[in-house]
Amino acid sequence: MAKQNERPTLATVAAHAGVSIKTASRVLNGEKHVARATAQKVEESAAELGFRLNPTAKRLRAGGRSPYVGVVLSAADDALQTRAFTALEAELSAVDLRPVVTVIGDSPDREEAFLDECLSNDLSGIIVLRAHPDMTGIYSRAAGSEVRIVSFDPAVTGAGVTVIAGDEVAAGQLAARQLLDHGHLALGVIGDHSTSLVTIRRLEGIQSAFAGRGDIGWRAYMREDAHDEASAKNVVAAWLGSRSAPSALITLSATLTQGAIDACRRLGEWPALVGIDDFPTAELLDVTVVDRDIEAMAAEAVRRLQAPAGKGDGCLGGSGGDGLDGGADRTGGGQDVFPVALIARGSGEEPPDRR
């Protein structure tokens, strides 16, 4: 008998039934050509000891796929990544898959080691929510393996990688146009990592919205690499404390938006503000944001992981022109681009003389 609270093993069952481990394994895995009396002894021993086969091991032996999916986050406190992970976990659970998570922070080595571990353990797939800017190219090493990679980070590309992203250029355009439409001419723009493709594309959208407008002042207020709440708060506090403060702000991530709001609250100054990416308290604080359908993106990511090789590999192409029309369609670019939308809650609709 197994000791109390000690999980019985296959060897325990075999010894209890008086058979070899190989015979016990054949019986419990449903193989044929085992004497009925022997099979009955093994089954009764397993039931008495409370033995259960490891479903993962059984699945792999039968040629099935691992139930585990690697998930890469750059920061656990990033609102967008937290929302995406919550949606992914629900979608994975619905198809009996489970996430194995790593938070890379500022450690490229941790990200590379995690990828190698995922590949060596033959996981069913890897989902990258955000990669370190210096490590986006490492995922190409999975090319030719059975491990599928789906990335929410548009910088992670390569053979065998499916990219699922929001229309980042359109996000920048929408944010800038909302403030221009409400009469703002002096705008502060706070960006994340300057080398991040997400930041680069959002800035492209902002610049395109300002094209041909010589009366717009924003480059003097442009600040990149403010990639956490503290640095964003410091930047906004410095701007609002100057004599020529911007009348409006565009923040390129939910984390930066939260830092900007903290600075405004501390100083009692409330310029108009549009943030890119929604976050849990944004509605309560009346923050205007540009966002995308995270739940739909998560569902598509899991669908891609499960699709048989060579199937389901069409992509969602954004609309033509400036990408603001939504209504994604299937094209062959190897990337799923989901439309974005502006959610007006009040902060982006304040007039320039609000201060």
pLDDT digits (tens, 9 = 90+) for 287-298: 999 999 999 999
pLDDT classification of 328: cutoffs 50, 70, 90: very low
Q: What is the spatial distance between Cα 151 and Cα 129, in angstroms, rounded to a whole number?
A: 6
Length of the chain counted residue by residue: 355
Q: What is the spatial distance between Cα 54 and Cα 50, in angstroms, rounded to a whole number?
A: 13
The tally of CA atoms less than 13 A away on the side-chain side of residue 242 is: 13
pLDDT in tens, 9-23: 888 888 999 998 888
Q: Are strands 98-103 and 125-128 parallel, antiparallel or unpaired?
A: unpaired
pLDDT, average across residues 36-54: 86
pLDDT in tens, 126-184: 999 999 988 888 998 887 777 889 999 999 988 889 999 999 999 999 999 999 999 99
Contact assessment for residue 328 and residue 318, using Cβ atoms and an 8 Å cutoff: yes
User: Which amino acid would we find at residue 331?
Assistant: T
Q: In what order do the strands lie in the sheet with 148-151?
A: 98-103, 68-73, 125-128, 148-151, 161-166, 335-338
Q: Are strands 125-128 and 161-166 parallel, antiparallel or unpaired?
A: unpaired
pLDDT in tens, 88-101: 999 999 999 999 99
Helices 294-306 and 79-94, interaxial angle, to 10°? 50
Does the CA dihedral 52-56-57-62 come out positive or negative? positive
Give the helix/strand (H/E) hosting 176: helix 168-181
pLDDT over 60 at 77, yes or no: yes
> Is 319 or 33 the better-scoring residue by pLDDT?
33
Give all domains of the chain, ordered by start, each with its CATH number: 10-53 (1.10.260.40), 68-166+293-339 (3.40.50.2300), 168-292+343-354 (3.40.50.2300)
Count other C-beta atoms under 10 Å from residue 15's C-beta: 15
Q: What is the spatial distance between Cα 249 and Cα 179, in angstroms, rounded to a whole number?
A: 9
> What distances in angstroms separate CA 103 from CA 100, 165, 257, one per listed residue?
10, 20, 22
- Mean pLDDT score of the chain, rounded to an integer? 85
Strand partners, 101: 71
Q: What is the pLDDT of residue 31?
A: 77
> Is 112 or 159 the better-scoring residue by pLDDT?
112
Q: What is the pLDDT of residue 331?
A: 29
Supply 247's token pair. 């009348």
pLDDT, average across residues 185-211: 92
DSSP state of 71: E
Contact assessment for residue 177 and residue 155, using Cβ atoms and an 8 Å cutoff: no
Give the range with max mean pLDDT: 49-58, 166-175, 298-307. Answer: 166-175
pLDDT in tens, 253-267: 999 999 999 999 999
Q: What is the pLDDT of residue 53?
A: 67
